[in-house]
Chains A and B, each alone.
Chain A
């Protein structure tokens, strides 16, 4: 991961943020955060909007008794209402060498960075704390924050990174508390066993898990080439001739299907995002899923 190696879009991220303005990103899971917010909370509270009544049991807070009902019916019932809380959102972006593809332009990395910025803007607009972790040879991370300068910091951090080397996102995630929502933006080509294990732990704690699988158009249908090399493993050198391409298409499709199955079985919201897809469209797909 090299600083200042990735050029931001020519017109900045303004068009993307404009396209996402007003969009809401509802949570699939109830938040456990104590702070009030826009997402349904696992807590029952004293909200105005009534959800249900429940008979009083010893130990319940007597302040939640419906005194009017007790007076009318001489029965002790608790007034149960829904709480709404913030949803801490952690965005993990893969910055390994495989994301620096194709040369030149690094379309995979640009797509990942744009999606991360779009999702961060949506979470930030909803008042949710947003954290960022970028995994490459070195780690760049922003802790959970809600302050106004969050989005410029996210943009500055992502623009200052050029992908390279290998990454272990699972190791970097271990430094964050398992809460709220986790978004993984990666091509999943690095060794993801640690990431999968960490995501499994988070999932068991009812964390909303989103996996955005970035795939380059050139990876889906690469042209023939006498020699191709894996940028993360220089010892992997292959010849991409006509029979090789056919076998490649089959193997790559099978791998994508296996990856999708594995993450979905974990309960993750899994989407494949092509580099040819507009970032705002990809963000809308993630939000609407």
Chain B
């Protein structure tokens, strides 16, 4: 058995010694003996006390010592050591859509050993955080920990926090590359159902999008979707279809807002926002965080509802940021795909130095305590309660 904070044991021993000494040295008033004629004794100051050199109130002392012992053991955080392994691998398994699951599993099979830990991730940042936490929990089980990433490391696995999270792991990371699953090439074609003077026609034309009724993306600018539209999405077969319902005249009645943004584009303009709430996965947001466009799965594809009014007057539809916004909103279901591998500099940053195994003891301990700690604290509290009851017991 080992202790995380062994100095508490010394403090507990000192406290126990002090309490035992107090029980030895305490002076007590002797218990009075009944005498019905006590009133005939002249009243004098009562200076008689008995000085006891023997242990007094042994039961109370025992309960106090038990409470101190249990509390100090709890504060010292005992740990029951198991057989330590020299090295434990934590394998981060990429389960994102950029990774081919069969190839990933095959790579993992060749890597994994007994007692290795595996963590599945679709976001690399989240996976790294879970892996580092897992490594800290292995302090008492292994001498060293190494992280292994089985992933194509596509760009879409990265986010703004990935580099910062990676920096919290002091050692290198072994990367086992697997072939990425590249998304099928999507032609810049859209089936547009809109009036001839719809401003989005100009936007799409300026962005290089052509219109075709056979395109996997249908943009409907009417006030409501029809049954044919829903059937078109549901009848997608193996191809993921995207039905965008972007009314040319959204229901107004809300308020005015100054900007709308996607994950890549911010369009600043005065928009008369509708008060209708959108359900599903947000793809665009008003400047105050309310969803301006959201996806809802439907069949093998999805229906994307967009509540961003494009004023036909003025140059809003012609702006570059408007074109970028439309491009983002025409991205396939599930968001923009970027399965291209990260560049070599980013890979080098991920792999870090050459020391891939890091001593587990050098990792900060998790605040999670052993299971014995709450029991010991409970025992200490129970002993203190029993001590109180014993002291209040009538003599």
Which A residues fall within an 8 A CB radius of B?
97-99, 101-103, 187, 189, 216, 218-219, 222, 225-233, 236-241, 244, 247-248, 251-252, 255
Q: What number of B residues sit within 8 Å (CB to CB) of A?
A: 20
Residues of the B chain whose Cβ atoms lie less than 8 Å from the Cβ of A251: 40-42
> DSSP majority for the A interface?
mixed
Tell me whether A240 and B37 are in contact in the complex, defined as CB-CB below 8 angstroms, given that A226-B50, A227-B29 are known contacts. Answer: no
Residues of the A chain whose Cβ atoms lie less than 8 Å from the Cβ of B30: 226-227
Please tell me if the beta carbons of A227 and B40 are within 8 angstroms of each other in the complex: no
Q: Which 7 A-B pairs have the closest CB atoms?
A: A98-B36, A238-B41, A229-B32, A228-B35, A227-B32, A251-B40, A226-B48
Residues of the B chain whose Cβ atoms lie less than 8 Å from the Cβ of A99: 36
B44 interface residue, CB < 8 Å from A? yes
Instruction: List residues of B (23-65) whose CB comes within 8 Å of A's CBs.
Output: 29-44, 46-48, 50
Q: How far is the CB of A63 from chain B (nearest CB, A)?
A: 59
Please tell me if the beta carbons of A230 and B36 are within 8 angstroms of each other in the complex: yes
Q: How far is the CB of A56 from chain B (nearest CB, A)?
A: 61
Q: How far is B40's CA from A251's CA once the two chains are assembled, in angstroms?
A: 6
> DSSP majority for the B interface?
loop
Q: How far is B36's CA from A228's CA once the two chains are assembled, in angstroms?
A: 9
Q: How far is B90's CA from A60's CA once the two chains are assembled, in angstroms?
A: 132
Please tell me if the beta carbons of B34 and A189 are within 8 angstroms of each other in the complex: no
Q: How far is B177's CA from A37's CA once the two chains are assembled, in angstroms?
A: 128
Q: How far is the CB of B28 from chain A (nearest CB, A)?
A: 11
Please tell me if the beta carbons of A187 and B40 are within 8 angstroms of each other in the complex: no
Q: Which residue of chain B has its CB nearest to the CB of A103? A: B34
Q: Which residue of chain B has its CB nearest to the CB of A240? A: B41
Chain A proximity mask over B102-135: 1 for CB below 8 Å, otherwise 0: 0000000000000000000000000000000000
Tell me whether A227 and B36 are in contact in the complex, defined as CB-CB below 8 angstroms, given that A247-B41, A248-B41 are known contacts. Answer: no
Tell me whether A231 and B34 are in contact in the complex, defined as CB-CB below 8 angstroms, given that A226-B48, A226-B50, A239-B46 are known contacts. Answer: yes
Please tell me if the beta carbons of B35 and A219 are within 8 angstroms of each other in the complex: yes
Please tell me if the beta carbons of B40 and A228 are within 8 angstroms of each other in the complex: no
Please tell me if the beta carbons of B38 and A237 are within 8 angstroms of each other in the complex: yes
A-B contact pairs, 17 of them (CB 8 A): A97-B36, A98-B36, A187-B36, A216-B36, A226-B50, A227-B30, A230-B37, A237-B32, A238-B35, A238-B41, A239-B47, A239-B48, A244-B41, A247-B41, A247-B42, A251-B40, A252-B37
- Select the residue from A103, A216, A232, A248 with max chain B CB neighbours within 10 A: A248
- Select the residue from A101, A189, A216, A228 with max chain B CB neighbours within 10 A: A228
Please tell me if the beta carbons of A228 and B46 are within 8 angstroms of each other in the complex: no
Residues of the A chain whose Cβ atoms lie less than 8 Å from the Cβ of B42: 238, 244, 247-248, 251
Residues of the B chain whose Cβ atoms lie less than 8 Å from the Cβ of A98: 36
User: Which listed residue, B31, B33, B40, B47, touches A248 by the CB 8 Å rule?
Assistant: B40
Tell me whether A101 and B32 are in contact in the complex, defined as CB-CB below 8 angstroms, given that A238-B41, A239-B48, A251-B40 are known contacts. Answer: no
Please tell me if the beta carbons of A239 and B41 are within 8 angstroms of each other in the complex: yes
Please tell me if the beta carbons of A228 and B44 are within 8 angstroms of each other in the complex: no
Q: How far is the CB of B255 from chain A (nearest CB, A)?
A: 79
Please tell me if the beta carbons of A222 and B35 are within 8 angstroms of each other in the complex: yes
Q: How far is B33's CA from A182's CA once the two chains are assembled, in angstroms?
A: 34
Residues of the B chain whose Cβ atoms lie less than 8 Å from the Cβ of A239: 41, 44, 46-48
Please tell me if the beta carbons of B35 and A225 are within 8 angstroms of each other in the complex: yes
Q: Which residue of chain B has its CB nearest to the CB of A255? A: B40
Residues of the B chain whose Cβ atoms lie less than 8 Å from the Cβ of A189: 36-37
